[in-house]
Amino acid sequence: MQDIIQLLPDNIANQIAAGEVIQRPASAVKELLENAVDAGATEIKLLVNDAGKALIQVIDNGKGMSETDARMAFERHATSKISNIDDLFRIKTMGFRGEALASIAAVAQVELKTKRDEDEAGIYLEIENSIVKKQEPVAAATGTSIAMKNLFFNVPARRNFLKSNPSELRHIVDEFIRVAMAFPEIFFSLSSNGQQVFHLEKGTLKQRIVQILGNNYAAKLVSVQERTDYLDISGFVGKPETAKKTRGDQYFFVNNRFIKSAYLNHAVMSAFAAMIPKDSFPMYALFIDLDPAQLDINVHPTKQEIKFEDEKIVYAFVQSAVKHALAQFSITPTLDFELDASIQNMDAVNKPATDEHRSSASSSSLFATFTQKNKAHFIEKRSELTHWKDFYEKPVSVDTPSFTPLEIPLMEKAVIAEAPSPHCTPAQLHAAYIVVQNEKGYLLINQQNAHERILYERFAAAVSGKAIATQQSLFPSTIDLAPADAVLLAELIPDLEQLGYKLEPFGSGTFVINGTPADVEQQNEKMAIEKMLEQYKHFSNDLKFSKREKLLRSLSLQRSVKAGNILSCKEMTALVDELFLCDIPNATPTGKPTYMSFKKDEMDRMFGR
């Protein structure tokens, strides 16, 4: 018999090891940001495309690497941060196991550019499947840029396992915030698909908290500051009135590393006891610093749990430090805690409040979820609408609740229970609304919003899958466009083709329309395209989505059935049925509600039944 045991090739071993360190785009983001911090950077920029699935790039102005180090960095167990076992007990850096870059290089296509101050030229490396594909000198500024493309391109099973873009992006933002919060003396920025989400100027911790969590906290932070021989605690807690109904703005850092600890969270909550309503959550960002020897370093560094040598001491300490801070604040309510004028006037503090910012914020899935106001708005409006009186006094269109993309998926589950009862006849109101009964009461559906949602999902499926059937034009018409519009349209041709529009550029702004989707009337094809372009340009000014996303949104808006159209019973039934087959039936792609739900219980109560 032959021997059967073999050593795994390095790239396979690395791929397997990578699974532990890089579970999703956000894990890579964390590792790369921490490396930049460890390299002593004072400016760190994070760029992601497609929620990190297509690209994660971190650019820092840290100390850079020599040519040999740059090659070495991607080997497993290659680290500059520890050299012997004793170092483990003194560790002050974020990383030390030397696994991150090796893992990243095993599961993505990596491009590294790095230069040290003392070197003339920098070094450029391309690595794929743990193998160096290219190495050459390059002109570069001092620091390091690492771009990882197409995460899990060679591990399809893992790639398929990734969640939707909003969900992965949310994880990325969480990691970004955790690092940015811990290092207010470092400039951080985050752009997603070319749109800037965070731009955090260097400053104090207080300024950083306000930059990240919003202006609402500006004058509402209570400083926590205690020093002992055993450990120090510093940071801020929100004044009791800022406590929220949702957990969220709560951060613990131990030696500047973000940790999760239900135990320490309990310590803070108990300090707040009596001062905030039950079921509400105070904001806190607390930093515990202690001798690394007091921590169990064997806990996996990518995990966020931590083991203290003596947990009880830390608990008691956190609790009393927060109590002490709160007590001081209630004796001297204004003196200590007003932000001084110089801070108030800082751009970074003022910025989140400008209208421009707010509107771009509300269109971004991210910012919106970090402003407390937005959530409160959402909660208020929803509960208001369950009251009939308010409903009649305030027409829905005047003060529409707008859901953020994050909120929309969160509501998905609740929606299933609301689907209309089968075989019930819908009724139309004012040629704009459809009323339909469901198990618990009835739904009031806005026909245009509902149709927008349906079309959006249909079109989205078409661009990434089976194309929509085209009806060939009998007499192809032409369309003449201004140069800028012609450029726009030319870019959209491949996607439009999937959507059933066959267009052919004919030079100098002219396009031939060879076909349109079957449901676009033949004589209207030219107008349909002009209107679509107009809508598309409108979106271009407002929002910075991908071209495809803008196209999908424009088309669904433009093609949706508008108010004023009287619908037949059959049309209404089809619309309602299709709406509830959608992945996200409860809102338009831009976040307007598609329907409101009214409960029979409440009707009964109103009529004293």
Applying CB under 6 A, the residues found at the interface with ligand ADP are: 31, 35-36, 39, 60, 62-65, 73, 78-81, 95-102, 144
Could you report how far apart the first and last alpha carbons of the chain are, in Å? 85
Q: Which does 98 bind (CB under 5 to 8 A by kind): Mg ion, ligand ADP, none?
A: ligand ADP
The SS3 assignment for 521 reads coil
Distances (CA, A) of 239 to 348, 456, 519: 21, 43, 58
Q: Which does 235 bind (CB under 5 to 8 A by kind): Mg ion, ligand ADP, none?
A: none
Positions that interact with Mg ion (CB under 5 A): 35, 95, 100
Q: How far is the CB of 91 from Mg ion (least distance, A)?
A: 12
- Closer CB to Mg ion, 104 or 454, in the complex: 104
Nearest to 268 by CA among 227, 208, 336, 321: 321
Nearest to 58 by CA among 75, 80, 43: 43
- Closer CB to Mg ion, 188 or 329, in the complex: 188
User: 187-192 and 43-49: which strand pairing?
Assistant: parallel
- Closer CB to Mg ion, 74 or 251, in the complex: 74
**Tokens 């349209």, residue?**
489
Distances (CA, A) of 517 to 172, 462, 499, 513, 525: 39, 12, 7, 11, 9
For residue 298, the Cα-to-chain-centroid distance in whole angstroms is: 31
Q: How far is the CB of 142 from ligand ADP (least distance, A)?
A: 10
Q: How far is the CB of 131 from Mg ion (least distance, A)?
A: 21
Q: How far is the CB of 62 from ligand ADP (least distance, A)?
A: 5
Q: How far is the CB of 76 from ligand ADP (least distance, A)?
A: 9
Give the span between the Cα atoms of 354 and 338, in whole angstroms.
21
Cβ(337)–Cβ(221) under 8 Å? yes
Q: How many CB atoms lie within 10 A of CB 222?
A: 23
Q: Which does 97 bind (CB under 5 to 8 A by kind): Mg ion, ligand ADP, none?
A: ligand ADP
Give the span between the Cα atoms of 143 and 132, in whole angstroms.
20
Give the span between the Cα atoms of 424 and 441, in whole angstroms.
12
Q: Apex CA 172: angle with CA 170 and CA 174, to 5°?
A: 70
Residue 203 CA neighbour count, 13 Å, CB half: 20
Give the span between the Cα atoms of 164 and 25, in whole angstroms.
12
- Closer CB to ligand ADP, 65 or 221, in the complex: 65
Q: Which does 130 bind (CB under 5 to 8 A by kind): ligand ADP, Mg ion, none?
A: none
Q: Which does 128 bind (CB under 5 to 8 A by kind): Mg ion, ligand ADP, none?
A: none
Shortest-Cβ-distance residue relative to Mg ion: 95
If you count them, how many residues does the chain have?
609
- Closer CB to ligand ADP, 87 or 578, in the complex: 87
- Closer CB to ligand ADP, 62 or 235, in the complex: 62
Q: Which does 588 bind (CB under 5 to 8 A by kind): ligand ADP, Mg ion, none?
A: none
Q: How far is the CB of 110 from ligand ADP (least distance, A)?
A: 11
Q: Which does 62 bind (CB under 5 to 8 A by kind): ligand ADP, Mg ion, none?
A: ligand ADP
Give the span between the Cα atoms of 163 and 24, in whole angstroms.
9
Shortest-Cβ-distance residue relative to ligand ADP: 95
- Closer CB to ligand ADP, 14 or 193, in the complex: 14
Tokens matching residue 446: 């806005």
- Closer CB to Mg ion, 27 or 319, in the complex: 27
Q: How far is the CB of 538 from ligand ADP (least distance, A)?
A: 41
- Closer CB to Mg ion, 35 or 189, in the complex: 35
Q: How far is the CB of 12 from ligand ADP (least distance, A)?
A: 19
Q: Which does 33 bind (CB under 5 to 8 A by kind): ligand ADP, Mg ion, none?
A: none
